[in-house]
Amino acid sequence: GTDILVVALRKRYGMEVGRFTFYINLVILGVSVFIVGLEGAIYGLVSIFVNGLVLDNVLRSFDRRRQVFVISNRPKDIADFIIRELHRGVTILHGEGGFTHEKRSALLCVLTPRQTMDLKRFLSVNDPKAFMIVSDASEVLGRGFKSWTAL
């Protein structure tokens, strides 16, 4: 019954649904301590905490994205693959190796987990000397992802 309240508060404050649900249920639990006693309230607290974590993880899994950096001597080939095969944008950054002082290019893009696997396969065959860093992106806004107006 608190779902509508949670969605309204999320739009206003930008907090995750599971966390808001936890706080609202915590207030309800605080009131119910007088009805169910302390032991029941402790069980309830554990239950709503786990519920909040699971809810946030499930909702996050629908919008999972990976931030990918690839350092390579073949940035053009990799960028072409990302654009043509994965249908994603890519930014080519120019830098210098801190140890070798050699000029290097780094590619930055945001991909779905499936696209990340496709890129790994491509690199393993076409540029096995490439260096790849993959991290979870907690939120991605802009063209091709979540709209700025959806905030």
List, in order of start, the domains of the chain with CATH numbers: 3-61 (no CATH), 65-137 (3.30.70.120)
pLDDT value of position 79:
97
Judge whether 18 and 53 are in contact, CB under 8 Å: yes
Cα–Cα distance for residue pair 122/91, rounded to 1 Å:
18
Q: Please compute the mean of the pLDDT values over residues 42-48 and round it to a whole number.
A: 83
**Residue 11: other Cβ atoms inside 10 A:** 10
State the average pLDDT for the chain.
84
The tens digit of pLDDT for each residue in 86-128 reads: 999 999 999 888 898 988 899 999 999 999 999 999 999 999 9
Cα–Cα distance for residue pair 118/22, rounded to 1 Å:
38
Report the SS3 class of residue 93.
strand
Answering whether pTM is above 0.85, one says no
Residue 61 has pLDDT above 70, yes or no: no
Cα–Cα distance for residue pair 19/46, rounded to 1 Å:
14
